[in-house]
Structure 1
Amino acid sequence: MLCSSEPNIRNIPTKCPRCHHAINPNYVGAVKGKYNEYDLFFNCPHCDRGFIGEYKDGYVQFVSPLSYQKESFEKEIEELSPNFVEIYNQSIEAESQNLNQLTGIGLRKSFEFLIKDFLVYKNPDIEEKIKKTQLSRCINNYIEDVKLKQISERATWLGNDETHYVRKWEDKDIKDLKLLIQVTVNMIHNDLLTEKYLSDMTN
C-alpha cells in the first residue's frame, strides 16, 4: 500500500548503493507491506539515481540495487595475471550481492591464478609443472622470498577455509582473506618493479 505520509523510521542509508558516495538521500515515497515492513524510495543527490531501502520495525535491513566498485590493479599485475584480476572482481561483485559463500571460493581461485602466474613468470622453463602442482606445494617449493612465502601460505589457509566443510581459522573471515591477497599483490608488484628498474638501469 502506498503511504500518504513518510513512515516513522530510525535510520536512513548514508551511502548510495549505486555510486558509493556518502550522502544524505532525498526521500521520495514509501510502500507499506505486512508486519511493520516498508519499502522506502530515495534519490541520491550525487548521482541522481533512485534506490530502495527495505525497512522492518523502523530500521533499514537492506538497500538495493547494489552495484560493486571494480577493483583496479597496477598495470604490471594486470599484465602478469589477467585471470586473477577478472576472477577477483567477479568475487567482489558476488560479495556486493551478498553471495558471501561464493565470494570466498572465488577469492581462493583468484589467488591461485595470481601465485601460479607469478611463478610461471619467474620459472618459464617449468611452466607445466607449476600449473599441475598443488598451490601449497608451489608456494613452498618455488617462492624464494621468505615474507612473500609466509603471507602466501596464510592467504591459502584462509582461502581453503572458504572451500572446506569445517573452518580452521574461525576468528578470520573474508575481510582478512582480502587483506592478505592485497598484501601479496603489493609484494609481487614490488618484486616486478624492482626487477624492471634493476634491468633498465645498468651501469
Structure 2
Amino acid sequence: MELIYAAASPYVRKVRTLLHETGQSDDVTLVPVKTSPTATPDVVRAANPLGKIPALVRPDGPAIYDSRVITRYLDARAGGGFYPEARIWEVLTLEATADAIMDAAILITYENRLRPPEHRSEDWIEAQWSKVAHAVRAVNDRWMSHLAGPVDMGHVAVGCALGYLDFRHDARGWRKGCDALDDWFTVFASRDSMQATAPKD
C-alpha cells in the first residue's frame, strides 16, 4: 500500500499514528507530496478527485480517503480495536470533534499563508479560532473520563489536533483554562507513535 501524505498534515498524522499503534508501518510506503488548496499534484488528484490528503492506494481496490475512512480501514485490517463497538458513538463523536478542530485551525493557516495581507479577514480568522477554542474547552470539560480510558481513535485524533495547534498556532495558547487536557496531552504526546509522527514542514 502507498500513503500519499505531507508531514505537516494533522490528518496524515492520524493515519501514521494508527499505523504505528497497530504495527502496520512497514506495510505502507510513504509517498510525500506538496499540496495546497491552490496547487494539487497529479498523484493526489489521481487518488482523490477532491485533491486532498491523505489518500491510501491499495493493491486490491480503489484508493480510499479521507483520514476517517483510512483509519477505519487500517484498524479493521489489523484488528486493532481502535473503534470499539461498545463505545463506538463516543469514539466517533470525539474523533469528529478533533477533526473539526483541525479543519478550523488549517483554515486559519491557509488564510495567513495563501491570501495577500490586504485580503485577509481578521474577523473570519477569529471566527475560526472561536470554533477551535470552544471545541478544545468542550473536550476538557466533557471528555476527560473517556480520555482516561483505553486508547482508541478518539485519543489519537485529539492528540493529533492538539499537536497541530502547538505546531501552527502555539501563540494562541489553547491550554489556558484547560489544565486537565493539557496534563493528558503531555502524557499522550510522549507515546512512541506520537514522537515518530511529529509534524514538520
Q: Give the number of the structure whose residues are more often strand, by fraction.
A: 1
With normalisation by structure 2, the TM-score equals 0.27
The higher relative CO (CA closer than 8 Å, separation ≥ 6) is in: 2
Report the TM-score, using the length of structure 1 for normalisation: 0.26
Could you say which structure has the higher helix fraction? 2
